[in-house]
């Protein structure tokens, strides 16, 4: 039963639940009303039976005419006396009521009158009130009323309540179905939109938002999600296009150089040693550039919370900067490095942070003039790297951290345009900020601010 209920559409379940709730409420109210009314009527009947006692004259007349055929007297009550001789005399035209043991206990230290249910000789159920009598020769006097005088109106009332409850339940089910349809109409729109997106992969579809209720919040959240997915897909497509463009140049050059070497072997025409050495050096440089580009792409393609990115640890930033400076010295022969660092400890992925620092210093080395100076300073949790190169035009500053973006003046220099993107990503993951701008006196200065402390935590 529960399984079938769960397989029903949501609007049908809501209509059934509404009808069930109304049915329970109506049944409870009707049942309580019927029971209370029944108790009140029975109590009122018993009170009337105990108060409506025949007078002594009526008892004497009934005793005198006992057994004599007389015309029936219209009355809703049946009067009956029990004489001391055991005779039973009943109102003419009324069916005698069977004498019960309770009737015989009247006046014998028992309640007066005695109330009980009885039965007439014609089979009719009666409510009987028996009391003692002061008339000589009369033992007890009973007054009886048919139970049907109350049961019939109560039965009619029960039918009316049942009919009313049925109409109420049907009305509630109809209203519940209508309300469910109206309330779920936005959900239907959301469902249609989701099915459309799943079928066409069209992330530009938006759901109209009306009001401030839960459905409106769900619609806004869904629109935000599809917008984020569309933006993510666009960035992914742009990344693929940019990566293909960046890979095409070294691959073309590499293929050209290899074709020259292969043609030399096939034709038997030897390439001069100096030219061959230059070709091999070019092939090596191009393969190094491809390897670096692929590594940068792998780093950027990794989600921010990727489990394979390495655990976050407390690292000595000044030591990582020192190692990055030593690697930069090897690449920037002829450059001078002015280094001043204070201890600073941060929480980050060690490998990712060191790669970002190397990229930052490589960028300074790339744009430094021969014999120039690269100034590296770490103090108060802020790392600055300054070069004395041509600097960065103001209109190019908003793009320096974009993927694959390269300044027009740097197109002839090695690099993929991903280094500063990796720097920005790594710094943000560590909770820091990075900026790049012109330096006073010429050149450019990069600033990295990372939260941390000048003292290592205990146990490091």
Of 72-76, 111-115, 399-403, least confident by mean pLDDT is 72-76
Give the H/E segment covering residue 117: strand 114-119
**Residues 2-11: pLDDT tens digits?**
556 566 666 6
Give pTM, 2 decimals.
0.45
Name the residue with higher pLDDT: 343 or 405.
Answer: 343
The mean of the pLDDT values for the chain is 78
3-state secondary structure of 159: helix
- On the question of pLDDT at 306 being above 50, the answer is no
**Residues 198-241: pLDDT tens digits?**
888 777 777 777 777 777 787 788 888 888 888 877 777 766 76
Name, in order, each residue with C-beta under 8 angstroms of 264's C-beta and a sequence gap of 6 or more.
Answer: 270, 271, 276
The full set of domains in the chain, from first to last, is: 1-63+76-183 (no CATH), 229-301 (1.10.287.130), 307-453 (3.30.565.10)
Count CB atoms within 10 A of the CB of residue 9: 10
CA separation for the pair 319, 357 (Å, rounded): 11
Mean pLDDT of all residues in 233-257: 71
Give the H/E segment covering residue 110: none
Mean pLDDT of all residues in 117-132: 87
- On the question of pLDDT at 412 being above 70, the answer is no
| Position 368 confidence tier, pLDDT thresholds 50, 70, 90 | confident
Instruction: Output phi, psi for 155, to 5 deg.
Output: -65, -40
Highest mean pLDDT among 15-24, 36-45, 175-184, 202-211: 36-45
The per-residue pLDDT for 142 is 85
Mean pLDDT of all residues in 381-406: 77
**Residues 142-175: pLDDT tens digits?**
888 888 888 888 888 888 888 888 887 788 777 7
User: DSSP for 347-415?
Assistant: EE-HHHHHHHHHHHHHHHHHHSPTT-EEEEEEETTEEEEE--SS---GGGGGGTTSTT---GGGTTSS-
| Position 72 confidence tier, pLDDT thresholds 50, 70, 90 | very low
Of 38-42, 111-115, 142-146, 239-243, least confident by mean pLDDT is 239-243
């Amino acid at each position: 039963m529960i399984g079938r209920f769960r397989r029903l559409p949501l609007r049908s379940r809501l209509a059934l639940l509404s009808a069930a709730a109304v049915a329970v409420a109506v049944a409870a109210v009707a049942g309580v009303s019927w029971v209370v009314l029944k108790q009140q009527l029975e109590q009122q009947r018993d009170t009337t039976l105990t108060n409506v006692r025949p007078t002594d004259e009526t008892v004497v007349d009934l005793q005198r005419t006992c057994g004599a055929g007389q015309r029936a007297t219209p009355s809703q009550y049946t009067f009956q006396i029990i004489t001391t001789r055991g005779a039973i005399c009943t109102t003419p035209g009324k069916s005698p009521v069977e004498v019960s043991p309770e009737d015989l206990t009247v006046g014998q230290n028992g309640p007066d009158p005695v109330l009980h249910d009885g039965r007439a000789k014609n089979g009719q159920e009666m409510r009987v009130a028996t009391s003692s009598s002061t008339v000589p020769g009369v033992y007890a006097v009973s007054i009886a009323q048919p139970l049907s005088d109350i049961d019939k109106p109560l039965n009619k009332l029960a039918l009316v309540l049942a009919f009313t409850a049925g109409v109420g339940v049907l009305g509630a089910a109809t209203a519940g179905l209508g309300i469910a349809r109206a309330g779920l109409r936005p959900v239907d729109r959301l469902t249609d939109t989701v099915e459309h997106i799943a079928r066409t992969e069209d992330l530009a579809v938006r759901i109209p938002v009306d009001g401030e209720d839960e459905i409106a919040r769900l619609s806004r959240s869904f629109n935000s999600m599809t917008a984020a997915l569309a933006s993510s897909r666009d960035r992914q497509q742009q990344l693929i296009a940019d990566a293909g463009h960046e890979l095409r140049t070294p691959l073309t050059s590499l293929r050209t150089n290899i074709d020259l070497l292969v043609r030399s072997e096939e034709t038997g025409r030897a390439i001069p040693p100096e030219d061959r050495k230059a070709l091999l050096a070019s092939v090596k440089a191009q393969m190094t550039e491809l390897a670096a580009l692929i590594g940068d792409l792998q780093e950027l393609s990794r989600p921010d919370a990727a489990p394979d990115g390495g655990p976050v640890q407390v690292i000595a930033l000044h030591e990582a900067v020192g190692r990055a400076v030593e690697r930069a010295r090897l690449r920037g022969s002829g450059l001078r490095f002015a280094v001043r660092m204070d201890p600073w400890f941060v929480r980050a992925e060690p490998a990712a942070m060191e790669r970002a620092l190397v990229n930052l210093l490589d960028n300074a080395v790339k744009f430094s003039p021969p014999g120039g100076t690269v100034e590296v300073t770490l103090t108060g949790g802020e790392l600055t790297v300054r070069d004395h190169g041509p600097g960065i035009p103001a209109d190019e500053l908003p793009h320096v951290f974009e993927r694959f973006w390269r300044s027009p003046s740097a197109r002839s220099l090695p690099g993929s345009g991903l280094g500063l993107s990796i720097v920005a990503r790594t710094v943000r993951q560590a909770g820091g900020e990075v900026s790049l701008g012109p330096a006073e006196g010429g050149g450019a200065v990069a600033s990295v601010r990372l939260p941390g402390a000048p003292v290592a935590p205990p146990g490091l």
